[in-house]
């Protein structure tokens, strides 16, 4: 399994390798294997981003390989199973439960398997990916929220919708009307230009982290800078939902943790996809969530057909509205 595993930034992930783990287990289809037991081994390769942990020199930012080794040994010597395939799968799922692990390669060894010919070892090797790194079998619906209030917001959003329509693994199903919204500011934050916002509904064969990477790449291509938290921006691409996934992860939380209270997401989305439902414990019918959103009063329509031609009443650069405490 030498093919690389890529992170949300499109770069190859780092690896933590645990090789030659072992324990006596009672796995196998024969009665004598269950009674007598025999040695089993495992090699585990975890794919994750270790850069933050390296900068901080802090174990909390990575995975404790000692804890993983204990988990693997417990499974090797624990509840018997018939197949090495089952044992490898259980080890993989235990490792993937560790925060930050995007994929894992597991090889299980059975050097004393009951064969009648000379051999050195029997091995089963698998690769499993965490749900955020796993590509769906078919097209999965997704929702992206687009926003911009610097540069040429209308031109930028038009270019982004076009780019999404040509991105490999992405199919655009609906594009919302364009909304003009007042910037929702944190306490004490300087006023910003109004935003242009839209929502794209589509289907994808990309993994959620690949969809996130696509959004980040589009932001970078349009000059997005992250100098100020909740600051003005040339482009914002937020992954709102991917299928019905509910995942709490520091890199990508699904659905977006504040989507249920953001009218500048909910109002356009409800227009693009009537009857849409936001998944998760804070979710519900998008149209109803939009009506209850605290920033509902800051949203007004600009145009339903905005991808070409003139759009009236565009926000003038530098003329934002202080909408009080809050955050985009």
* Two tokens, residue 215: 């959004």
Distance CA 260, CA 280 (A): 10
If we measure between CA atoms, which residue out of 102, 104, 96, 118 comes closest to residue 42?
A: 104
Write phi, then psi, for 257 (nearest 5 degrees).
-65, -15
Distance CA 166, CA 109 (A): 45
Distance CA 254, CA 280 (A): 8
**CA 88 to the chain's CA centroid:** 25
Cβ contact 149:319 at 8 Å: no
Is 110 marked active-site? Answer: yes
Active-site residue among 47, 90, 109, 110?
110
First vs last C-alpha separation in the chain: 41
User: Could you identify the residue written with the tokens 């009236």?
Assistant: 312
If we measure between CA atoms, which residue out of 264, 244, 242 comes closest to residue 177?
A: 264
Residues that are catalytic: 110
């Amino acid at each position: 399994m030498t093919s690389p595993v890529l992170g949300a930034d499109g770069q190859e992930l780092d690896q933590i390798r645990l090789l030659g783990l072992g324990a006596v287990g009672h796995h196998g289809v024969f009665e004598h294997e269950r009674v007598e037991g025999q040695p089993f081994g495992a090699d585990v390769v975890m794919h994750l981003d270790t850069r933050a942990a390296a900068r901080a020199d802090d174990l909390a930012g990575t995975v404790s390989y000692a804890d993983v080794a204990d988990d693997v040994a417990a499974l090797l010597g624990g509840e018997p199973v018939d197949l090495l395939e089952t044992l490898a799968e259980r080890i993989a799922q235990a490792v993937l439960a560790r925060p930050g692990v995007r994929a894992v390669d597991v090889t299980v060894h059975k050097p004393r398997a009951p064969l009648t010919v000379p051999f050195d070892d029997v091995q089963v090797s698998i690769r499993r990916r965490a749900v955020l790194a796993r590509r769906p079998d078919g097209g999965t619906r997704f929702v992206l929220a687009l926003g911009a209030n610097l540069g040429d917001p209308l031109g930028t959003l038009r270019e982004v919708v076009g780019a999404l329509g040509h991105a490999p693994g992405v199919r655009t199903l609906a594009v919302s009307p364009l909304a003009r919204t007042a910037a929702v500011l944190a306490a004490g934050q300087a006023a910003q230009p109004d935003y242009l916002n839209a929502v794209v509904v589509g289907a994808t064969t990309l993994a959620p982290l690949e969809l996130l990477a696509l959004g980040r790449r589009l932001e970078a291509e349009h000059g997005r800078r992250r100098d100020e938290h909740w600051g003005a921006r040339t482009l914002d691409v937020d992954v709102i939902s991917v299928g019905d996934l509910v995942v709490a992860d520091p890199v990508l939380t699904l659905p977006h943790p504040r989507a249920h209270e953001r009218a500048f997401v909910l109002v356009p989305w409800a227009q693009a996809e009537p009857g849409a439902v936001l998944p998760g414990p804070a979710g519900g019918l998008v149209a109803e969530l939009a009506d209850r959103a605290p920033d509902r009063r800051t949203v007004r329509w600009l145009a339903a057909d905005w991808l070409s031609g003139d759009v009236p009443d565009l926000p003038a650069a530098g003329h934002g509205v202080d909408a009080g405490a809050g955050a985009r």
